[in-house]
């Protein structure tokens, strides 16, 4: 189960979006998270790029 942002709607007087955390982590989510961090670590270690050079790829 992934965390989500819940919005009340687009009405002018609606409340802002709020963070809804998952009730619990399951093994699949933890495995995916570990794989993503491992991949990011490998990319940073082996790309030969500086942080500002790959930031647009990961954040944009």
- The tens digit of pLDDT for each residue in 10-31 reads 555 667 778 777 777 788 888 9
- pLDDT at res. 12: 58
Residue 54 tokens, joined = 């790959």
- pLDDT at res. 11: 54
pLDDT at residue 50 is higher than 80: yes
Q: Is this structure's pTM higher than 0.95?
A: no
pLDDT top residue among 48 and 6: 48
Quote the percentage of the chain above a pLDDT of 90. Answer: 17
Could you tell me how many helices (H) and strands (E) the chain has, helices first? 2, 2
Classify residue 47 by its DSSP letter: S
Question: Which residues neighbour 6 within 8 Å (Cβ) at sequence distance 6 or greater?
Answer: 17, 18, 20
């Amino acid at each position: 189960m992934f965390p989500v942002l819940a919005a009340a709607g687009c009405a002018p007087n609606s409340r802002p979006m709020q963070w809804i955390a998952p009730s619990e982590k399951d093994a699949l989510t933890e495995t995916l998270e570990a794989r993503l961090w491992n991949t990011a670590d490998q990319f940073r270690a082996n790309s030969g790029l500086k942080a500002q050079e790959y930031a647009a790829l990961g954040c944009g």
